[in-house]
Structure 1
């Protein structure tokens, strides 16, 4: 038997999947061959879903703290205890805090936002991941949009500014290979080769840039183009070109190249690519280059390069930064929330401690202690709260510090509809299995709690029907809820080329170039000269890593010359040291890594001494209030 469903992980591909059950009751997952993006295959992260569902250490009954341990309790006992606490805070809702992450995507995944919005609880603002890109693109284009994924196949050249497609989006990697096979040139720009250790190579040229300095390289290209002359038909479609171009011409090229560590020859190659007439260039903006203090500026200067080189609003030419997963849905079903205090997500530990009045915390969809900067301080912040409720399926770093743990259903155990931040299709994630043990879908948990609090709660079909009632959906499909449940996915009515004819979303219809000066990198503290980059894991999504896979020591990938500088033997023990702590690692020699960087793979848990966020300070980006993880400076020390 086969059932069409979809992967809800925090991944751009938004795969439509087929879950097969054979005559012996064995299950398997494969990509849906009928889906235009998924095309019959999916990645390891999605295929791990069955192991996660059936994991022996999965939490399948409500747990309540008893001293230093947890004891199983009934759902009634757990929810009654929670309701009693919430009831004492109804008149002071700011003392309740709701923290929701994106461990899984979907319309129904947001039902906890509805519930705590009705209560008027404190929430969060800013983000750990993508706000710097999204807010920067809105400042530039006036709207969050990009060309269809298919337009990559019409490009003459694709410049990949730092996106590790082989670990983050295998379907993007396939598109790049297909484009390359058609004769498209692929250039990658990043502090480390994203293809190191991978079997597939999709780049013709790799430019190794100093971490976090992409804006300087983009500005250097723009400066050359400006000196050669930018056509009036492009300049006239911007609201501030004269000021910006005048500023760009004052910049010193040598200073820009020294700042980013790129050669004049490499710059000339990029100038030739972006400056060639009748030559379509698509630029992919990696999600890593926004995770610096000047991450927004990085994005804006790359966008400006695309615009001023004539590579916006054309077939095969555009800037791919990402779009909102919810942009094709109507989210007004969540309206009616009361005004609430918003705590800054990248500095959540300090925000909780400074507020000093949070008495109740509900945490779902995120391993918050593990994933936020200053993880040790987050542990302290949690300890100041009277009641912490965590909705999760595993005893991770956050669940371990809860007072009540509510077991949630996982992928294929709950229904949902989700979008993508890469392509324009929407997917239906069908419920294939009943939840294990007493686990419940997040919607069911929120509805039960709402009923006990006498808060009206919308029905699933009403939520999904309203969410799908948008022109992007209904222009192509009538009765979309019925259709998506049958077919498993739906197209949306979006143009293949964004910002055609250089018409933008600002009130004047024009593009807005960066208006502030180009910032140099913060001065380097000689005690901490290296950049710590906690990059994406190819096998697991963020911290959704089985405990048995975390028994080996965390590996840190370092250039051999850097290891030699610190007198550390390859594969030897070393400490990564920051101003707030140190982390013991195995130092692996890797020639693909920039000599000023250290790379670790993200998601490891504190309890296994694999969490990089224990030594990452709470830096915030210039735009979007995003966590600037990669601006963390560190050094290496020999382990005695």
Structure 2
């Protein structure tokens, strides 16, 4: 116990202080941490005369508004702010320890050994900035701007971070970007063409739902602050069902758990759609008025038929009243859902006909063979979802779509919602991430010039191998910030070799992260509460002022300062070198919110009190209807409408590989981190876990001689991951669950074993189509 106490605040004290339990959703409280980092079981700091500041927890999460208490220039307490009805979780409250972390980087650090050796030499900012300029110019001379790569992501959604970086590198003349969101590219690639918009969240009316279908995600952990609204709906009689290979925290709160083979979700959805169509459980009036399902597809071209090729919205339908082909939005037109048994059947099919044909083979029995979901469960879910209204699908960028055909899986939810009319009203829809940028225009602090030339893009899911293979360009200079590619990008072994290959890698961070270890130069940056910023993003309904509460340690600086100093050296400093308030005003200008108003209120919700995405069935497509025929998929040679294709890296999809690696491995999020953010904070490691685990079914552990809490090795041809076995019947047989977010210093990420296959349709990652074997260590 004495050794444990020397590390920092004890697990017991942290849980007692926060009023939360790590294994369940942190849904109540609002109590802040009052023990200083480094003090153990100490008396709480006296906050009666503390200065109070507000900010936002800005990584890829729920962006809670936080209140900071500062005593004698030191942050001593963080709690939820009253302006935001959500409640911060353990991670947000642990910001106290992050700001006061004894291992904060305080000066620029230049590599003084092999990459990964963690050997560094402190240098001045002038030396660091001059070196960066030198390396940029060297790269431009040798490789052009195509040799410069920027990797920024979701570690900070503040408006003066990632957007400023993109503007800086575009002022240089352009750069090779990294594309394909690791979290939700498949959702973007399906929802945007089908509904016309993404990040349309339904959180405001969760409590009004009567049927909640949490499909392939775990809102008790990933939507902790809103989970109280799920429970409120349940208290009013709502039924909640969870589809997940693991008996998750959400499944534990649900009325039914439906375990499924990873990557087979679309087959389950097609089986449900078949039942809904054949039992006439669909909402025909809604489909006719608000979807493309009545649109005709020509047999000759395989494309939707248009009245006028110059007008892409002039889709044709069969008018039931006249029996004639006419434009879909003509006055008095009643579109037919099918053209079967009509004079037009040889020339056309409706999209509804195509969908019905696609579903026909997927009987409940066939669904069971493919997914291992009992036939009775498929029937029950289909009938309940179609008839217990309003019904809401909880998608929220779930792991189900991080698969080889994830775009079809994500699209399947959209088909189900529209078919049943479960969208556009209170208590229904598809719960996605969402925020103010969906509904209001937000400005750019520093407008970005147009890049000069063609650059292509490195694929995020295949970052390591693309860099090693010089695709699309040879990279000589990499700037990485607000992300950690060594923990998050698939196939970490290849990522590590890629970082070693790139001649000069700059990482901007506040701590020595896994990616920083493999960099040439590490620049110390501020965290929240240490610089002024503004948040107006796609994750929160609130526009939030991020106030500076304390000075950063040493010579740490914010991203805006760093890019301003570089811009001055490179001849375009005027665009950057302005007071922070001026940059914030530029962000706010299109919103209608003034800087003075935000200074006063700190946190403003510009959206309606209850935001309803696609209200009354009005979508954001050119036709204002849900358009299910995705032209981009058709042009790539794939089925433009919903279909199921078995994943290549799966037990049934690749029996030869499965003979070597017979277990399907999926990744899970924990209460300990957001991706890998917070991963080094002792409070969270003590409260949740300080070692990685893999969940494995007893029937899979027993034959391998693995007992609960044994150290084991997960492995495949890509690499291995050391962790402890959690032997439990709370995981499907044949499936294991690894935990996301572990640092190199903690033994390494589970991404060492994950597939770096690029999702076919939208370019996302496929980490949840990964096959592994497991053995006991030693």
Same fold, judged at TM 0.5 (above): yes
- Secondary structure of the residue that 2:106 maps to in structure 1? coil
Aligned to 2:461: 346
Q: Residue 219 of structure 1: which of 261, 270, 273 is its match?
A: 270
In structure 2, the CA distance between the partners of 1:374 and 1:457, relative to structure 1 (3 Å rule), is same
CA contact (8 A) 1:63 1:404 kept: yes
Distance in 2, Cα, partners of 1:489 & 1:324: 14
More off after superposition, 218-227 vs 385-394: 385-394
Aligned to 1:296: 407
CA contact (8 A) 1:4 1:16 kept: no
Aligned to 1:491: 605
Aligned to 2:394: 284
Shift of 1:22: 4.8
In structure 2, the CA distance between the partners of 1:410 and 1:118, relative to structure 1 (3 Å rule), is same
Distance in 2, Cα, partners of 1:190 & 1:138: 25
Structure 2 matches for 1:54-453, cutoff 5 A?
54-68=100-114, 69-90=119-140, 92-110=144-162, 111-119=164-172, 120-146=174-200, 148-195=202-249, 202-229=253-280, 230-236=282-288, 237-239=290-292, 240-276=351-387, 279-286=389-396, 287-323=398-434, 326-327=437-438, 328-332=440-444, 333-339=446-452, 340-355=455-470, 357-419=474-536, 421-453=538-570
Aligned to 1:3: 52
> What's the CA shift string for 1:593-620, capped at 9, x where partnerless?
1112211221112343231111223122
Q: Residue 531 of structure 1: which of 655, 659, 664 is its match?
A: 664
Q: How many residues align?
A: 627
- Secondary structure of the residue that 2:399 maps to in structure 1? coil
Shift of 1:47: 1.3
In structure 2, the CA distance between the partners of 1:212 and 1:324, relative to structure 1 (3 Å rule), is farther
More off after superposition, 493-502 vs 210-219: 493-502
Shift >4 Å, 4+ stretches: 22-26, 420-423, 547-553
> What's the CA shift string for 1:267-320, capped at 9, x where partnerless?
23212212216x200111142111111211111111111110110112211111
Aligned to 1:511: 626
- Secondary structure of the residue that 2:755 maps to in structure 1? coil
| Residue 540 in structure 1 maps to residue 687 in structure 2 | no
Distance in 1, Cα, partners of 2:285 & 2:68: 52
> What's the CA shift string for 1:253-272, capped at 9, x where partnerless?
32222222111221232122
> What's the CA shift string for 1:109-161, capped at 9, x where partnerless?
12111101221122211121122112211122122253542211211111111
In structure 2, the CA distance between the partners of 1:284 and 1:420, relative to structure 1 (3 Å rule), is farther
- Secondary structure of the residue that 2:189 maps to in structure 1? helix
TM score, norm. by length of structure 1: 0.92
CA contact (8 A) 1:143 1:505 kept: yes
Aligned to 1:42: 88
More off after superposition, 44-53 vs 605-614: 605-614
CA contact (8 A) 1:62 1:407 kept: yes
> What's the CA shift string for 1:548-607, capped at 9, x where partnerless?
649955321111111123232222232212122222322121211111221122111234
Shift of 1:325: 6.9
CA contact (8 A) 1:99 1:364 kept: yes
- Secondary structure of the residue that 1:289 maps to in structure 2? helix
> What's the CA shift string for 1:385-409, capped at 9, x where partnerless?
2211111122222111211111000
Distance in 2, Cα, partners of 1:26 & 1:381: 38
| Residue 577 in structure 1 maps to residue 715 in structure 2 | yes
In structure 2, the CA distance between the partners of 1:59 and 1:234, relative to structure 1 (3 Å rule), is same
In structure 2, the CA distance between the partners of 1:2 and 1:280, relative to structure 1 (3 Å rule), is farther
CA contact (8 A) 1:387 1:403 kept: yes
In structure 2, the CA distance between the partners of 1:246 and 1:509, relative to structure 1 (3 Å rule), is farther
Distance in 2, Cα, partners of 1:76 & 1:566: 57
Structure 2 gap segments, 5+ residues each: 1-49, 293-350, 629-639
> What's the CA shift string for 1:311-351, capped at 9, x where partnerless?
01122111112236744443454331314332111111112
Shift of 1:501: 2.9
CA contact (8 A) 1:99 1:362 kept: yes
CA contact (8 A) 1:191 1:208 kept: yes
CA contact (8 A) 1:8 1:106 kept: no
Aligned to 2:80: 31
Distance in 1, Cα, partners of 2:441 & 2:176: 25
| Residue 51 in structure 1 maps to residue 70 in structure 2 | no
Aligned to 2:777: 639
Distance in 2, Cα, partners of 1:604 & 1:325: 31
Structure 1 gap segments, 5+ residues each: none
> What's the CA shift string for 1:153-177, capped at 9, x where partnerless?
2111111112212222211211111
| Residue 468 in structure 1 maps to residue 602 in structure 2 | no
- Secondary structure of the residue that 1:114 maps to in structure 2? helix
More off after superposition, 372-381 vs 239-248: 239-248
> What's the CA shift string for 1:28-63, capped at 9, x where partnerless?
000012323x2xx31111112121111111111111
> What's the CA shift string for 1:224-256, capped at 9, x where partnerless?
010012343133132132322332234333222
| Residue 589 in structure 1 maps to residue 727 in structure 2 | yes
In structure 2, the CA distance between the partners of 1:575 and 1:633, relative to structure 1 (3 Å rule), is same
Shift of 1:434: 1.2
- Secondary structure of the residue that 1:235 maps to in structure 2? helix
Cα RMSD, aligned residues only: 2.3
Distance in 2, Cα, partners of 1:344 & 1:23: 47
In structure 2, the CA distance between the partners of 1:223 and 1:311, relative to structure 1 (3 Å rule), is same
Distance in 2, Cα, partners of 1:256 & 1:450: 58
In structure 2, the CA distance between the partners of 1:517 and 1:203, relative to structure 1 (3 Å rule), is closer
Distance in 2, Cα, partners of 1:25 & 1:6: 16
Distance in 1, Cα, partners of 2:545 & 2:202: 20
In structure 2, the CA distance between the partners of 1:517 and 1:403, relative to structure 1 (3 Å rule), is same
CA contact (8 A) 1:537 1:601 kept: yes
| Residue 624 in structure 1 maps to residue 762 in structure 2 | yes
Shift of 1:438: 0.4
Distance in 2, Cα, partners of 1:87 & 1:555: 45
In structure 2, the CA distance between the partners of 1:6 and 1:433, relative to structure 1 (3 Å rule), is same
CA contact (8 A) 2:188 2:198 kept: yes
